[in-house]
Amino acid sequence: MEELLWGKGIEAKTREIKSFIMNDEKWNSIDYFLKFTKPIVDMLSVDIDGSKLHLIDEMWDSMIEKIKKVIFEHEEENLIFGSNLFDTIYDILVVRWNKSNTALHCMAFFDSQILSQIMASSREWDSRQAPNEDREISSNRIMCFQRYFKESNELK
């Protein structure tokens, strides 16, 4: 008798597993999740020879745009009205960015060699603002100088 109940339990679990595996809606949800998290994983696993710091801003912006595209295409939302999911993800990413975006990070754009590398290597440079014209980068660069050179005459 006990073996009979145990056998029925396995059959029920087997049906449940089969139902889960064959459920297209669940697989579509998993596929959607993987699509909008792929840019985040790509950003976190960046592996480029040489200096990378000056590339982070561009990669971060590109990552956010890719996530936005996936979410808005999936939800068939209008960019004007927005998406609650994207807004939530965007807020999380901005908080994380603000933690890592330091004044020292912005100093990577101060070196003219790095700046020329950015301009030469960037495919999307035409659509981006030059780092020396970006207010956030400039203000953080000034903050970094002020932190290192406390006396105003040392800045000159």
pLDDT digits (tens, 9 = 90+) for 40-97: 888 877 766 666 666 677 788 889 999 999 988 888 766 667 788 889 999 999 888 8
Task: Please report, rounded to a whole number, the percentage of residues in the chain having pLDDT higher than 70.
Answer: 62
DSSP 77: -
Q: Considering 101, 130, 145, which residue would you say is the last residue of a domain? A: 101
Separation between Cα atoms, residue 116 and residue 121, nearest integer Å:
8
For residue range 93-143, what is the model confidence (pLDDT) as tens digits?
988 887 776 666 666 666 656 666 656 665 555 556 666 677 777 777 777
Q: Are residues 74 and 146 in the same domain?
A: no
Q: Are residues 71 and 90 in the same domain?
A: yes
For residue range 26-48, what is the model confidence (pLDDT) as tens digits?
888 899 999 989 998 888 777 66
Q: Reply yes or no on whether the pLDDT at 5 is more than 60.
A: no
Report the number of distinct structural domains present in the chain: 2
What sign results for the dihedral spanned by CA atoms 123, 129, 133, 137? negative
Domain with 153, as residue range(s), is 102-156
Phi-psi category of 76—alpha, beta or left, where left has phi over 0 and alpha has psi -120 to 50?
left
What is the pTM assigned to this prediction?
A: 0.57
Which residues are CB-neighbours of 57 under 8 A, at least 6 positions away? 131, 137
Q: Are residues 126 and 80 in the same domain?
A: no
Q: Considering 101, 116, 140, which residue would you say is the last residue of a domain? A: 101
